[in-house]
Amino acid sequence: MQVKINVHINMDYKFRGQCPITSALDILGDKWMLVIIKQMLIEDKKTFKDFIESDEAIATNILSSKLKCLEELGIISKTQIPDNKKTNLYLLTEKGLALTPIIVELSIWSDENVRGINSIMRDSPEIAIMKSNKDAFIQMIKDNYKAKTEKYY
Number of neighbouring beta carbons within 10 Å of residue 60: 10
pLDDT in tens, 17-69: 888 889 888 888 888 999 999 999 999 999 999 999 988 889 999 999 999 99
Tell me, what's the pLDDT at 11?
54
- Specify which residues 89 forms β-bridges with: 79
Tell me, what's the pLDDT at 1?
36
The pTM of this model reads 0.85
Number of neighbouring beta carbons within 10 Å of residue 54: 15
Q: What confidence category does residue 6 fall into, taking pLDDT thresholds of 50, 70 and 90?
A: very low
Q: What confidence category does residue 82 fall into, taking pLDDT thresholds of 50, 70 and 90?
A: confident
What residues does each domain of the chain span? 20-152
CA distance 107 to 113: 10
Tell me, what's the pLDDT at 2?
37
Whether the per-residue pLDDT at 143 is higher than 90: the answer is yes
Kindly report which listed range (20-24, 46-50, 72-76, 149-153) carries the lowest average pLDDT score. Answer: 149-153
Exposed e or buried b per residue across 28-47, where buried means at least 16 C-beta atoms within 10 angstroms of its C-beta:
beeebbbebbbbbbbeebbe
Exposed e or buried b per residue across 9-20, where buried means at least 16 C-beta atoms within 10 angstroms of its C-beta:
eeeeeeeeeeee
Q: What confidence category does residue 103 fall into, taking pLDDT thresholds of 50, 70 and 90?
A: very high
**38 vs 4, 46, 85, 136, CA distance in Å?**
24, 11, 26, 18
Exposed e or buried b per residue across 130-139, where buried means at least 16 C-beta atoms within 10 angstroms of its C-beta:
beeeeeebbe
Whether the per-residue pLDDT at 8 is higher than 80: the answer is no
Fold of 20-152: Arc Repressor Mutant, subunit A (1.10.10)
Mean pLDDT (whole number) for 102-131: 92
